[in-house]
Amino acid sequence: MAEALRPAAQAQCSADPDAAGLLWAARAWVDGRWQEGVLLHAGADGNWARVEPGAACPPGAFVLDGPAVPGMVNAHSHAFQRAFAGLAERRSVDQDDFWSWRDHMYRVALRVTPQQQHAIAAQLYVEMLRGGYTHTCEFHYLHNAADGSAYADGDLTMALALAAAARETGMGLTLLPTVYERAGFSQPALREDQRRFRADAAAVLATRDALRRDADAAQRGGRGPALRVGLALHSLRAASPESIARLIDGSDAAPIHIHIAEQAREVDDCLEATGLRPIEWLCRNAPLDHRWQLVHATHSTPSEIAAIARSGAGVVLCPSTEANLGDGLTDLPGWLRHAVPLSLGSDSNATRSVLEELRLLEYGQRLARQVRCVAAAPQENQPATAARLWSRTLAGGAAAAGLERWGLQAGARADLLVVDTAAPAMLGIPASHTLDAMVFSSPNRPFRDVLVAGRWVTRNHRTPQAAGIAQRFTAAMHELWEPADKASEP
């Protein structure tokens, strides 16, 4: 389990054991900029009670071993797909794209047991924590047993495996049970290989309520960060307009996520079926507001971007998955120009590092546009590419997870990352360029220590339970893939 807060091993102002929740950073990222001498008090409730820049180190404070930055929210993850990372990179047909990758992925989805789901998710969450994420949003549609029948507890079996993995590792979690009821706009039923995904709006709303009851019980038992629960629609092609309306009617203040306009074919299919592009349809037919998170939104028009900006909805960008699947490049300057809330997601979990996502987000734009520092905005006094992207996705991620406060501020959950200034990419870097080097210089082992809800989950690059989790993950991978090896899959 996560370690209780304790003194930094090398430096402390005093050894007063009564100030266990008091931290001091020589430098920390507060209010969108580096500030000096930051005192942070993690309260017994796991939230920041005080964050005070410009403070002298008081007696009893624990001195952090490097600059502190807020943890990032991973706004879009399919945990079970971590078991597929690196195993779909061969082509035996004339053309390989999202749709052929999806057929391979379904074979994984049909095999995963609840025990394997826990093992895979725990390994994934350890990797995410080391990669800069301290909270993740699980877009959960692996609802049913392998034969397509419901578990005895409905959708809870697979969902609770994810919650248990989050508790084990200390990862913050927002679960998003997902409506998935048809194979396409003109296909009213699911394909046979989609049988585990079946869930209509009523089932998803019932799952939400049951998960919240379980989360309340877990929180009373003091088992780590509080589980949050929202809702999701897999996509316009996978949910009927009637189910979308029913889900909206049953929704509350929690986030609502939806895949949208990820592939060009999806846009064409939506146009053929409805006469509208996906984002256009959603803007006209759903009461979009700050709760809504549009995942990918890769194929958007300027008028659609403007409409999303007016609605207050956010967009979740998944650069590594969008690149891996050949989806296309989003209009990053358009989203930034209209001040649309943005967040990052690891999606298929081929990559589990926030810094790699930020780097690829910017580098994709540079390759397409043949210019540098696309996300920088010197005209707005924001000349630093990494700083602007970090600040925007930090704020957007909080909304995607349903967190009212986030970052190094009073009332937010007491999460932070301690930058390893001895990492190769950080050696000799001026303090003012710390974020630049973190994002745009590699190889890197950037985060020395990770704090979640006032508890250390990683200290000096060491996660105490990581070895046991890795063993269980390896065993699950052997169970999943040894039969496939014999059949020459994938």
Q: How confident is the model at residue 430 (pLDDT cuts 50, 70, 90)?
A: very high
* 11 domain-assigned: no
- Name residue, tokens 């089932």: 203
Task: Kindly state whether residues 49 and 77 are assigned to the same domain.
Answer: no
Q: Out of 3-12, 200-209, 221-230, which region has the weakest mean confidence (pLDDT)? A: 3-12
Does residue 260 contact residue 278 with C-beta atoms inside 8 Å? Answer: yes
* 348 domain-assigned: yes
pTM of the model: 0.94
Say how far apart CA 356 and CA 439 lie, in whole Å: 7
Say how far apart CA 404 and CA 258 lie, in whole Å: 20
CATH number for the domain including 434? 2.30.40.10
Select which of 296, 299, 327, 449 is catalytic. Answer: 296
Task: Kindly state whether residues 76 and 65 are assigned to the same domain.
Answer: no
296 is catalytic: yes
Query: Of 360, 375, 401, which marks where a domain is finished?
Result: 401
Task: Kindly state whether residues 284 and 188 are assigned to the same domain.
Answer: yes
Q: What is the mean pLDDT of the chain?
A: 92
The pLDDT value given to residue 6: 40
Say how far apart CA 54 and CA 81 lie, in whole Å: 44
pLDDT over threshold 90, residue 21: no
Task: Kindly state whether residues 194 and 207 are assigned to the same domain.
Answer: yes
- Name residue, tokens 């995410």: 128
Say how far apart CA 217 and CA 146 lie, in whole Å: 29
The pLDDT value given to residue 484: 55
Task: Kindly state whether residues 315 and 219 are assigned to the same domain.
Answer: yes
The pLDDT value given to residue 303: 98
* 172 domain-assigned: yes
Compute the 3-state secondary structure of the chain and give helix, strand, coil in percent, each to the nearest 5.
40, 20, 40
Task: Kindly state whether residues 64 and 85 are assigned to the same domain.
Answer: no
pLDDT over threshold 70, residue 10: no
* 1 domain-assigned: no
Does residue 155 contact residue 197 with C-beta atoms inside 8 Å? Answer: no
Task: Kindly state whether residues 168 and 202 are assigned to the same domain.
Answer: yes
* 479 domain-assigned: no
The pLDDT value given to residue 222: 62
Does residue 313 contact residue 288 with C-beta atoms inside 8 Å? Answer: yes
Calculate the alpha carbon distances from 445 to 130, 195, 296, 318, 344 in Å.
9, 41, 28, 21, 20
pLDDT over threshold 80, residue 62: yes
Say how far apart CA 267 and CA 244 lie, in whole Å: 18
pLDDT over threshold 90, residue 7: no
| Tens digits of residue pLDDT in 72-94 | 999 999 999 999 999 999 988 88
Say how far apart CA 353 and CA 128 lie, in whole Å: 6
Number of CB atoms found within 10 A of residue 198's CB: 20
347 is catalytic: yes
* 481 domain-assigned: no
CATH number for the domain including 383? 3.20.20.140
The pLDDT value given to residue 20: 40
The pLDDT value given to residue 319: 98
Task: Kindly state whether residues 157 and 124 are assigned to the same domain.
Answer: yes
With vertex at residue 438, the alpha carbon angle to CA 437 and CA 444, rounded to the nearest 5 degrees, is 105
Q: How confident is the model at residue 225 (pLDDT cuts 50, 70, 90)?
A: confident
pLDDT over threshold 70, residue 274: yes
Say how far apart CA 244 and CA 87 lie, in whole Å: 34
**What's the number of domains the chain is made of?**
2
pLDDT over threshold 70, residue 224: no
Task: Kindly state whether residues 240 and 256 are assigned to the same domain.
Answer: yes
* 274 domain-assigned: yes
- Tell me the Ramachandran region of residue 261: left when phi exceeds 0, alpha when psi lies from -120 to 50, beta otherwise: left
Task: Kindly state whether residues 79 and 144 are assigned to the same domain.
Answer: yes
pLDDT over threshold 80, residue 488: no
Select which of 214, 347, 415, 420 is catalytic. Answer: 347
Over residues 308-324, mean pLDDT: 97
Parent domain of 41 = 17-69+415-459
Task: Kindly state whether residues 352 and 228 are assigned to the same domain.
Answer: yes
Q: How confident is the model at residue 442 (pLDDT cuts 50, 70, 90)?
A: confident
| Tens digits of residue pLDDT in 378-412 | 999 999 999 999 999 999 999 999 999 999 999 99
* 340 domain-assigned: yes
Over residues 242-259, mean pLDDT: 98
The pLDDT value given to residue 18: 27
Query: Of 401, 426, 448, which marks where a domain is finished?
Result: 401
Q: How confident is the model at residue 223 (pLDDT cuts 50, 70, 90)?
A: low
Task: Kindly state whether residues 58 and 87 are assigned to the same domain.
Answer: no
